[in-house]
């Protein structure tokens, strides 16, 4: 379609198209949008449906471009159909979640002839709420519902493969291959070499062989490297099955440092532990028998306890041990038992050795530096905070406090230097910071609001230079009398979330001491960030993290490195960081229930909500094995607790959900996984990634695409004497990952934030995410034993939407095709109904002859509902025989004389027809010429449930299967097409499709049921493009349906088409290049 519209626009071709039906392969909205712009009165319909559901089940009227680079939806159900998108448990997915497409309704086939097992597998009995249909066909196609109820086709289930550790859509590779100049068509298959190996092969046709590297270079414009085929096979043409589809079976067959140990501390361990608990938890009422977590402990304070114990004893208490043994007695016993076998790494602040005053950057700093190089100007790693202040703020004193803070903390006067690709920290001895102050008190409230909003945007995107001080900014706006707006913006390369809190607390203490004229120790802090960097790098080079690295490599073995969530927009080829935040909260009741549940079950709120998020991710991704990242402060050594610097580490937590898992099972697994992750937190994430040897995909962040995080609240951190401080909330327009779930507890409320990438998610999607997250969180507090896989994340609004979408019922007037044609004949008896060469039949003649055939068949069969085979060559006898059989109340089975006799014999052996109607002397049966003689008798009543025809599939994936289609299924489709496409008695359709291919029934019955004319093409004219184009022109054809192969034959003749011509295409994928060429013919 795209090359065609290009041609129209380049050559300024002008004509009109009234109706255009397309389908089979996904089509970009921007392409169809160009047709809307070019042809003012065009009506475009995108259709979808397999043979087993009587050809078409959905239509989409394309009227406008919503997302230019998105595919066009396949629409909603046509009348008397129901389409469901379900997960692996046959439960309807929520809007936007991908699942398999199921189709039910009046057009559903009975099944496959004489193949009960295949029928049972594909045609299933299941019930859905507010759906009148109980039987559905499993299409094997993937799709999802859009918010407006339309369906988006994702691809074939059997076209999604796993290769190089990634889920790959073969159709996406084929689509990209077809963009390569010179390639006519392509097919990509996974060829199994042995039980342990497979290869991705691309087969393509072109006039000449194309150099493989040229193809790869072109593909890299559209695809990540891991999706490139291993081999490319050139063919003049791709082999095809009898029905004209690519024969994939033939293609596959082709060859082709130390602590000072305080022994006195250990001797009095119980008493000292109690004091540490009281100090850390700020609770003097704690008793020795208390449970750490019940006394107010959480994961962060647990690590502080662990760090303090290590600094005194040199003994490492794991988080797992503390979690499972959260009492003073148990911990004291563990320390005593380990005391005799201490093996520690010693760290001393005075052991600093800085060569040329350059300290190697930490792995975390290096990661931030190089990612920011790819996102310059975005402010991705800025950490801005804003406060509204009322009271007596001394601005010069605040500036003095900041400079004292800088003098005491080396990280605030550290720059990052790039020396030949290797990064170093350089600590500057002196730096005088100047506070940025602006007086906007003269502005009215509206202009102040605008000014502050612009300041927030400016700070959010401010571009810090890593080699230039300062790497943080502080600004004060004077907004009125004793009213201020404070902005603090720190770059992530010298800070992390925990460090921001330390920065604010220390700044507050210094400022308040200055206000009270108290003594301030101006000496630098005893432990600096440089100590952490040296300590970490020394541990890495010394191999102290080997066991942790082994844990992660073993734990992550076999997991898919890319998590696919349903998106609203086409994912950019390179990862972007454009984002937004969406705030929502649990009400007081739910928040209280969750907090109580966590206390009763001895788990943290973090663990509970992480488990909820795991269920959420599983439901939306359809996966039961995936990764959720968590950030960890990595301050397990007490010496680093109050250091300002970038110490955060990302941990890729693997989540697996069993088939029969309850929420209790999830909690148990998550508890175990998080504890193990905490005990292996020191190895930098970057080293884990490098050790996994992952294929890098530039469109995704590596290994972790979604994160779960507990936020630090800064509302009480900033306390400036004689002032009242209020944290000013704002939405950051950044997203480090696809999706991040964050929460914090404020009083009795649990507040949540979704940080999301706006280049792939819409706000409506995120709002839906929030509702479903709350729905999942509310269930375990009332019933923690519910089964995860059977749990529905569908809200009341979702249910109402589904109910409205399911309402596709329409009562058509006619229940069988015979009555439809009878109506047309009564209205225009003398109009031409059928024409073959010079043979013309009016509707009146057509009705009489078919009545005679039906009468004679009844004389032979003595009844109805029998199988009758047709072995007829192309002529008017095709439609006469078909309708005669239908009128007799029997079922027709088409046998094409042009097909291999082995196939026809197989069909006869399976179908066992009562009679064979033929026009050939070589085939035993009843001559159709004999059936058109004699008198007309009373014909039977045709019931809607009576079989109309049995069509045999191509057999491209095995033996052909006979699909049984009823009268009502056929009548429902024909009436739906006529209504949807607005077809009337002016239609003149040329039949070229063999009647053994089910789309031929559309060609036969759409014109006859609408009172139009059916022209049957001669055999010679079907395969000769010149004769076919001449036929279309001479017969004034205005509706034509064919396969892409036939259209290619036509185009090779220079066929021009005609004004007002409607083209239907089906049977196999329609290449975009061909589609564009076809548009010019209408």
pLDDT class for 18, splitting at 50, 70, 90?
Answer: confident
Distance (Å, rounded) from C-alpha 966 to C-alpha 942?
10
Distance (Å, rounded) from C-alpha 379 to C-alpha 382?
5
Phi-psi region of 842 (alpha: psi -120 to 50; beta: other; left: phi over 0): beta
Average pLDDT over residues 223-246: 78
Strands (E), 481-624: 483-491, 579-585
Half-sphere exposure of 132 (CA within 13 A, CB side): 10
251-276: pLDDT as tens digits: 876 765 444 566 678 878 888 899 99
Distance (Å, rounded) from C-alpha 197 to C-alpha 430?
61
Q: What is the pLDDT of residue 314?
A: 66
Q: What is the pLDDT of residue 2?
A: 66
Task: Cis check for the bond before 470: say yes or no (omega within 30 of 0).
Answer: yes
Q: What is the pTM of this model?
A: 0.59
List, as own/partner pairs, every contact residues 38-43 make where C-beta atoms lie below 8 angstroms and the sequence separation is at least 24, other chains included. 38/5, 38/8, 38/9, 41/16, 41/17, 42/16, 42/17, 42/18, 43/18, 43/19, 43/981, 43/982
519-543: pLDDT as tens digits: 888 888 888 998 888 888 888 887 7
Average pLDDT over residues 469-489: 96
Higher-confidence position of 638 and 699: 699
Residue 508 has pLDDT above 70, yes or no: yes
Decide the pairing of beta strands 1013-1016 and 832-836: parallel
pLDDT class for 413, splitting at 50, 70, 90?
Answer: very high
Phi-psi region of 420 (alpha: psi -120 to 50; beta: other; left: phi over 0): left
Distance (Å, rounded) from C-alpha 505 to C-alpha 879?
88
Looking at residue 356, the DSSP 8-state letter turns out to be G
Residue whose C-alpha is closest to residue 953's, from 945, 944, 965: 965
Average pLDDT over residues 226-239: 82
Higher-confidence position of 673 and 716: 673
Token pair belonging to 207? 């006039």
Q: What is the pLDDT of residue 474?
A: 97
φ, ψ for residue 920, nearest 5 deg: -120, 140
First to last CA, the chain: 12
Distance (Å, rounded) from C-alpha 98 to C-alpha 144?
5
Cα angle: 818, vertex 823, 829; to 5 degrees: 110
Contacts of 531 (CB under 8 A, 6+ apart): 347, 349, 352, 639, 640, 643
Same fold, 2-78+81-158 and 578-637+645-713+734-804: no
274-320: pLDDT as tens digits: 999 888 888 888 888 888 888 888 776 887 788 788 767 767 687 77
| Strand, helix or coil for residue 114 | coil
Q: What is the pLDDT of residue 196?
A: 38
Q: Which helix (H) or strand (E) covers residue 754, if one does?
A: strand 749-757
Q: What is the pLDDT of residue 167?
A: 59
What CATH number should be reported for the domain whose range is 817-1037?
Answer: 3.40.50.12780
Q: Find out whether 369 and 493 touch, Cβ atoms under 8 Å.
A: yes
Taking each helix axis from N to C terminus, what angle separates 817-827 and 843-861, rounded to the nearest 10 degrees? 140
Q: What is the dihedral of CA 573, 579, 585, 591, to 10 degrees?
A: 60
Residue whose C-alpha is closest to residue 671's, from 971, 192, 299: 299
Phi-psi region of 747 (alpha: psi -120 to 50; beta: other; left: phi over 0): left
pLDDT class for 422, splitting at 50, 70, 90?
Answer: confident
326-384: pLDDT as tens digits: 899 888 888 887 765 443 434 444 445 555 678 899 988 998 998 888 777 788 999 99
Domain 263-341 indexed as CATH 1.10.1200.10: yes
| Strand, helix or coil for residue 292 | coil
143-196: pLDDT as tens digits: 888 878 889 887 766 666 655 445 577 878 888 898 899 898 899 988 765 443
Q: What is the pLDDT of residue 158?
A: 60
What CATH class is the domain 578-637+645-713+734-804?
Answer: alpha beta
What CATH class is the domain 2-78+81-158?
Answer: alpha beta
Q: What is the pLDDT of residue 350?
A: 42
Domain range annotation of the chain:
2-78+81-158, 164-253, 263-341, 355-531, 578-637+645-713+734-804, 817-1037
Average pLDDT over residues 807-816: 83
What CATH class is the domain 355-531?
Answer: alpha beta
Fold held by 164-253? GMP Synthetase; Chain A, domain 3 (3.30.300)
Half-sphere exposure of 293 (CA within 13 A, CB side): 20
Mean predicted lDDT score pLDDT of the chain = 87
Distance (Å, rounded) from C-alpha 135 to C-alpha 1002?
24
Token pair belonging to 213? 């590297």
Residue whose C-alpha is closest to residue 122's, from 52, 22, 29, 199: 52
State what percent of residues in the chain have pLDDT above 90: 46
Q: What is the pLDDT of residue 20?
A: 84
Token pair belonging to 925? 């049966």
Distance (Å, rounded) from C-alpha 303 to C-alpha 636?
5
| Strand, helix or coil for residue 564 | coil
C-alpha dist (Å) from residue 718 to 388, 408, 482, 503, 917 = 11, 19, 17, 9, 92
Residue whose C-alpha is closest to residue 52's, from 125, 131, 138, 127: 138
Average pLDDT over residues 55-73: 85
Q: What is the pLDDT of residue 220?
A: 85
């Amino acid at each position: 379609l795209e090359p065609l519209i290009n041609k129209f626009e380049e050559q300024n071709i002008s004509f009109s198209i009234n109706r255009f039906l397309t389908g089979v392969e996904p089509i970009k909205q921007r392409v169809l949008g160009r047709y809307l712009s070019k042809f003012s009165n065009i009506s475009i319909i995108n259709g979808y449906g397999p043979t087993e559901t009587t050809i078409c089940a959905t239509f989409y009227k394309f009227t406008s471009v919503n997302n230019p680079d998105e595919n066009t939806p396949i629409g909603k159900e046509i009348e008397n159909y129901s389409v469901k998108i379900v997960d692996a448990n046959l439960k309807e997915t929520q809007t936007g979640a991908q699942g398999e497409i199921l189709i039910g309704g009046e057009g559903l086939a009975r099944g496959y002839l004489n193949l009960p097992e295949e029928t049972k597998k594909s045609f299933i009995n299941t019930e859905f709420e507010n759906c009148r249909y109980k039987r559905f066909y499993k299409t094997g196609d993937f799709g999802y519902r859009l918010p407006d109820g339309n369906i988006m086709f994702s691809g074939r289930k059997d076209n999604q493969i796993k290769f190089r550790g990634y889920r790959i859509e073969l159709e996406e590779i084929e689509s990209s291959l077809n963009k390569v100049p010179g390639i006519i068509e392509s097919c990509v298959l996974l060829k199994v070499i042995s039980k342990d190996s497979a290869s991705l092969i691309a087969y393509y046709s072109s006039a000449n062989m194309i150099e493989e590297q040229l193809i790869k270079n072109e593909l890299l414009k559209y695809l990540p490297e891991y999706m490139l085929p291993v081999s490319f096979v050139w063919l003049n043409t791709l082999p095809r099955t009898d029905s004209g589809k690519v024969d994939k079976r033939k293609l596959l067959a082709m060859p082709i440092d130390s602590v000072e140990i305080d022994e006195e501390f250990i001797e009095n361990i119980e008493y000292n532990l109690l004091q540490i608990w009281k100090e850390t938890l700020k609770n003097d009422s704690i008793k020795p028998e208390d449970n750490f977590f019940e006394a107010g402990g959480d994961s962060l304070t647990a690590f502080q306890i662990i760090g303090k114990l290590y600094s005194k004893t040199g003994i490492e208490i794991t988080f797992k041990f503390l979690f499972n043994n959260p009492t003073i007695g148990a911990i004291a016993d563990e320390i005593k038992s380990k005391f005799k076998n201490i093996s520690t790494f010693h760290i001393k602040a005075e052991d600093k050795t800085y060569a040329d005053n350059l300290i190697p950057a930490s792995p975390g700093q290096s990661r931030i530096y190089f990612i920011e190089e790819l996102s310059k100007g975005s402010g991705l790693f800025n950490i801005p905070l804003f406060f509204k202040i009322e009271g007596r703020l001394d601005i010069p004193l605040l500036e003095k406090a900041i400079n004292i803070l800088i003098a005491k903390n080396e990280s605030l006067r550290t720059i990052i230097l790039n020396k030949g690709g290797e990064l170093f920290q350089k600590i500057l001895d002196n730096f005088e910071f100047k506070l940025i102050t602006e007086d906007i008190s003269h502005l009215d409230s509206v202009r102040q609001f605008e000014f502050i909003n612009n300041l927030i945007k400016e700070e959010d995107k401010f571009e810090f230079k890593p080699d230039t001080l300062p790497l943080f900014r502080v600004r004060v706006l004077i907004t009125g009398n004793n009213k201020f707006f404070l902005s603090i913006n720190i770059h992530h390369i010298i800070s992390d979330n925990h460090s921001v809190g330390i920065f604010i607390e220390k700044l507050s203490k210094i400022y308040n001491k200055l206000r009270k004229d108290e003594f301030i120790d101006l000496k630098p802090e005893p432990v600096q960030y440089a100590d952490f960097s040296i300590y970490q790098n020394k541990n890495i080079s010394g191999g102290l993290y080997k066991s942790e690295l082994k844990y992660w490599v073993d734990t992550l073995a076999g997991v898919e490195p890319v998590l696919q969530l349903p998106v609203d927009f086409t994912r950019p080829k390179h990862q972007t960081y454009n984002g937004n935040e969406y705030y929502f909260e649990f009400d007081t009741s739910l928040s209280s229930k969750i907090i109580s549940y966590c206390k009763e079950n001895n788990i943290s709120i973090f663990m509970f909500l992480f488990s909820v998020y795991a269920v959420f991710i599983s439901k939306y991704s359809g996966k039961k094995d995936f990764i959720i990242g968590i950030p960890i402060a990595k301050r397990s050594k007490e010496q680093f607790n109050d250091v300002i610097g970038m110490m955060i580490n990302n941990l890729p937590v693997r989540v697996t959900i069993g088939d029969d898992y309850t929420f209790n099972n999830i909690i148990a697994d998550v508890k175990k996984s998080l504890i193990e992750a905490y005990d292996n937190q020191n190895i930098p994430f970057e080293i884990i990634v490098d050790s996994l040897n992952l294929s890098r995909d530039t469109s995704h962040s590596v290994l972790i695409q979604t994160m779960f995080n507990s936020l630090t609240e800064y509302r009480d951190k900033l306390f400036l004497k004689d002032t009242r401080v209020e944290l000013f909330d704002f939405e950051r327009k950044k997203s480090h990952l696809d999706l991040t779930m964050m929460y914090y507890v404020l009083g009795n409320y649990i507040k949540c934030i979704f940080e999301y990438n706006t280049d792939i998610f819409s706000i409506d999607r995120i709002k839906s995410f929030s509702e479903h997250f709350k729905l999942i969180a509310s269930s375990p507090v009332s019933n923690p034993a519910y089964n995860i896989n059977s749990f529905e994340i569908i809200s009341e609004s979702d249910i109402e939407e589904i109910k409205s979408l399911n309402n596709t019922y329409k009562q058509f007037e006619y229940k069988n095709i015979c009555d439809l044609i009878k109506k047309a004949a009564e209205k225009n008896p003398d109009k031409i109904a059928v024409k073959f060469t010079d043979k013309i039949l009016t509707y009146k003649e057509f009705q009489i002859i078919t009545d005679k055939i039906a009468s004679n068949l009844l004389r032979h069969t003595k009844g109805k509902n029998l199988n009758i085979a047709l072995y007829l060559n192309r002529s008017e006898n095709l439609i006469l025989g078909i309708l005669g059989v239908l009128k007799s109340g029997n079922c027709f089975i088409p046998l094409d004389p042009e097909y291999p006799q082995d196939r026809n014999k197989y069909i006869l052996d399976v179908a066992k027809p009562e009679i064979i109607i033929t026009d050939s002397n070589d085939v035993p049966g009843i001559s159709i010429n004999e059936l058109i003689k004699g008198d007309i008798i009373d014909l039977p009543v045709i019931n809607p449930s009576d079989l109309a025809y049995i069509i045999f599939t191509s057999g491209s994936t095995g033996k052909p299967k006979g699909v049984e289609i009823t009268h009502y299924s056929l009548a429902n489709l024909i009436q739906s097409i006529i209504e949807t496409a607005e077809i009337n008695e002016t239609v003149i359709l040329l039949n070229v499709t063999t009647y053994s291919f089910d789309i031929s029934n559309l060609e036969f019955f759409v014109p006859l049921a609408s009172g139009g004319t059916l022209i049957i093409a001669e055999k010679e004219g079907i395969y000769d493009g010149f004769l076919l184009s001449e036929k279309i022109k001479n017969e004034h054809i205005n509706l034509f349906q064919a396969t892409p192969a036939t259209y290619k034959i036509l185009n090779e003749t220079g066929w021009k088409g005609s004004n007002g011509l409607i083209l239907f295409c089906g049977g196999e994928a329609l290449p975009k290049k061909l589609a564009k060429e076809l548009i010019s013919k209408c």
